[in-house]
Structure 1
Amino acid sequence: MTDRFVLVPASYVYLLREGDAGTEVLLQLRQGTPYMDGHWAAAAAGHVERGETAYDAARREALEELGVTDVSLDLEFTMQRTQHGEPIDERVDWFFTARSWTGTPRVVEPDKAAAIEWFPLSALPEPMVPHEACALAHLSSGAVYLTFGF
């Protein structure tokens, strides 16, 4: 019998606004974390905790990482991803966008983020966390389910 995998859930929040070059997304430059330091990623994201919905996790992460509240979330899609390694490498991610929130986004956890910056969706920075680059490429595509790593 094969070992069943352990599913690790996470929520991602892409704050969006209109800029001179079209729609812009707020991204963070990761630092001091065990995963993808030096890469650009969602300005707010994290694991869904026990007893928490993906929506609740997204709102919590927006507050913890950016200091914003009243985030008006739109579910874009779910992504199932794998690295074909250990059971912990099996993931499910919920990607949300928001165009409305209360407060000014700022780096709340400087030990985990070197900076936050707005980028046009048409000109994303490099390097990006690979599965997030895939997610951003599918925003507004109408897809409800994505896979990565299969």
Structure 2
Amino acid sequence: MSTQHDTDAGTTGLFALVPASYVYLLREGERGTEVLLQQRGPVPYMAGHWAAGAAGHVEPGEDAFAAAARELSEELDLVADDLTFEFTMQRTQHGPAIEERVDYFFTARSWSGTPRIVETAKCTAIEWFPLDALPSPLVPHEAHALAHLGGEQRYLTFGF
């Protein structure tokens, strides 16, 4: 059975949904709540921008919580004691191919280990910043996410 959506997809390109998980480590500092961010290295997407301490695509057969825990281990060599779901963000990127993203955001206030850069080819620095004094440049959809951190909203959109 063909639907209008199927017909449209055939003429405009394939539709892709790309899921990702993000982890913001939080701590109380002298200037209030601080978040650990990484500065992206020479990578194709947003090189030099500040971003979540750990983030990455959800792999086939993996749920968003498992992806968040895996990324935390792979990128910062940490195990979260209290990985907490914050919200989901639906994003769109307009262009020749239709690409939709769904991002799952988590926080942790307690973990085992000391944060360190594991993927040195992808990350040039990690640093703690007060939530009310974030660095620039910041990945745009993550700036939107950080602005809503700690709120009651569990669904965000970006790019529509």
TM interval, short-chain normalised: over 0.9
For the pair 1:148 / 2:158, whether they are aligned, the reply is yes
- 2:105 aligned partner: 95
- 1:122 aligned partner: 132
Q: Give unpaired runs (5+ residues) of structure 1.
A: none
For the pair 1:33 / 2:33, whether they are aligned, the reply is no
* TM-score, normalised via structure 1 length: 0.97
Instruction: Find the aligned partners of 1:147 and 1:137 in 2 and give their Cα distance.
Output: 13
Aligned residues: 149
Moved beyond 3 Å, runs of 4+: none
1:70 CA displacement: 3.6
Paired residue type of 2:126: I
- 1:24 aligned partner: 34
For the pair 1:135 / 2:145, whether they are aligned, the reply is yes
Aligned equivalent of 2:77, options 50, 56, 67: 67
Q: Secondary structure at the match of 1:104?
A: coil
* TM-score, normalised via structure 2 length: 0.91
1:71 CA displacement: 4.0
For the pair 1:113 / 2:119, whether they are aligned, the reply is no
Instruction: Find the aligned partners of 2:8 and 2:154 in 1 and give their Cα distance.
Output: 29
For the pair 1:53 / 2:53, whether they are aligned, the reply is no
1:5 CA displacement: 1.9
RMSD of aligned Cα (Å): 0.9
Q: Percent identity?
A: 68
Q: Could you list the per-position Cα deviations for residues 42-88 of structure 1 after superposition, in whole angstroms to 9, with x for gaps in the alignment?
A: 0100000000000000000000000001442111100000112223x
- 2:17 aligned partner: 7
1:32 CA displacement: 2.2
CA contact (8 A) 1:16 1:23 kept: yes
From the CA coordinates, give the structure whose radius of gyration is larger: 2
Instruction: Find the aligned partners of 2:133 and 2:72 in 1 and give their Cα distance.
Output: 23
Q: Give unpaired runs (5+ residues) of structure 2.
A: 1-6
